[in-house]
Amino acid sequence: MNKTPNNKAWFMVLPVLALVAFSAVIPLMTVVNYSMQDTFGNNVFFWAGTEWFQEILHSNRFWAAMGRNLAFSAIILCIEVSLGIFIALNMPRKGWGVPVCLVLMALPLLIPFNVVGTIWQVFGRIDIGLLGRTLAELGIAYNYVNNPVHAWITIILMDVWHWTSLVVLLCYAGLVSIPDAYYQAAKIDGASRWAVFRYIQLPKMHRVLLIAILLRFMDSFMIYTEPFVLTGGGPGNTTTFMSIDLVKLAIGEFNLGEAAAMSIVYFLIILLMSWVFYTVMTNYGTEKR
C-alpha cells in the first residue's frame, strides 16, 4: 500500500519543542557560554577560552570522581540486575501473593530520594540506628561516618534497597508475558531449570532487561541526593561523586566557569552512554531476522 507522505504532523511537535527549548536547550546554551568564561558575579564575564576544559581534563579530582561514579554504577548494576532477575523468577505468578509482592516491590520506589538518604543515615547510626547498633552489639566496628569502606557499603546497600524493585518489576513484566506453551514444550523435552532460564526466560526478558540496565545506569551515574544526605561526600572525598563535586565546585566554591566545563564533559559522557544503550536496545536481534 502506498502512503501519501504528509509531514504536516510534525507541526504537532512544536509545543514540545518550545517546552524543551525553554527547559533544556536554552539552559544548556548558557552552560556552554559560561564554560568559556570566568565570572565573579554581577553578570560580568571574562573570556577564558578552553582553559576550564583543560583544567578539568588535567584535574585528578575530576578523574577520581568519575572513577567513583563508574565503580558505583558497575557495582550496583551487577548486584541489582542479578538480584532483580532472581527475585522476579521467584515471585508468584498467580494467587493473592501477586498483588502483595507487587505492592511490596513498589514501596521503595515511592520514597523520595532525600527521605531514603535520611532513613539510611538514621538506620546506620551506631548510637540509635537499628543496623549500626546491631552491628556494634555483634562486635563489628561499623561506622560509615569515618570509614570509607563502610560508607561505600552503606551507599551501595541503600541503592540496592531503593532500586532493585525497579529491575524486579520490569523482569516480572517480561516473565509474565511468556506463554505457557513455551514451558509445556520445555517440560516435554525434559529441559532443566537452567535450560528453561537460558533459552526461554532470558531471551524473553532481554528487552526489559536492557531498559532496566539503561535506567539504572543513568540514575546511578547521576546519583546525588542519597549519598549527599547520607555521607555528604565523605569521609574525605571517598563518596564524592561527579554530581556532588559539581555542586561543590559551582555553589560551594562559586567557580562557575570550571563547573560549567565539568557539566559539559559529564553531559557528553551521559549522552554517549545513552546513545550506546539506545542503539543496542533498538538494534539487538534485528540482524537475526
User: Applying CB under 8 A, which residues contact another protein?
Assistant: 5, 26, 29-30, 32-34, 36-37, 39, 43, 45, 47, 49-51, 53-54, 57-58, 265, 268, 271-272, 275, 279, 283, 286-287
What sign does the CA torsion over 282, 284, 286, 289 have? negative
Nearer to another protein, 33 or 184 (CB): 33
Rounded CA-CA distance 167/77 in Å is 10
- Shortest approach of another protein to residue 211 CB, angstroms? 18
CA-CA distances (angstroms) from residue 1 to 4, 5, 7, 8, 9?
Answer: 10, 12, 18, 20, 20
Q: Could you tell me the smallest distance in angstroms from the CB atom of residue 45 to another protein?
A: 5
Do residues 158 and 117 make contact, with C-beta atoms less than 8 angstroms apart? yes
Rounded to an integer, what distance in angstroms lies between the CA atom of residue 66 and that of residue 58? 13
Least Cα distance to 258 among 76, 18, 6, 58 occurs for 58
- Closer to another protein by Cβ: residue 2 or 283: 283
**Cβ neighbours of residue 26 under 8 Å, at least 6 residues apart?**
none
Nearer to another protein, 34 or 241 (CB): 34
**Pick 31 or 211: Cβ nearer another protein:** 31
Angle, helix 202-221 to helix 256-283, in steps of 10 degrees? 180
Contact status, residue 227 vs residue 239, Cβ threshold 8 Å: yes
Residue found under cell 532481554: 206
By beta-carbon proximity to another protein, the closer residue of 49 and 179 is 49
Our CB check for another protein shows the closer of 176 and 268 to be 268
CB 150 within 8 A of CB 230: no
Shortest Cβ distance from residue 258 to another protein (Å)? 14
Cα 210 to Cα 200: distance, rounded to the nearest angstrom: 16
Nearer to another protein, 42 or 90 (CB): 42
d(CA 242, CA 225): 12
Which is nearer to another protein, 94 or 289 (by Cβ)? Answer: 289
User: Least distance in Å: CB of 81 to another protein?
Assistant: 24
Q: Residue 114 has which C-alpha cell? A: 532525600
Under the phi-then-psi rule, with left for phi > 0, alpha for psi from -120 to 50, and beta for the rest, what region is 214?
Answer: alpha
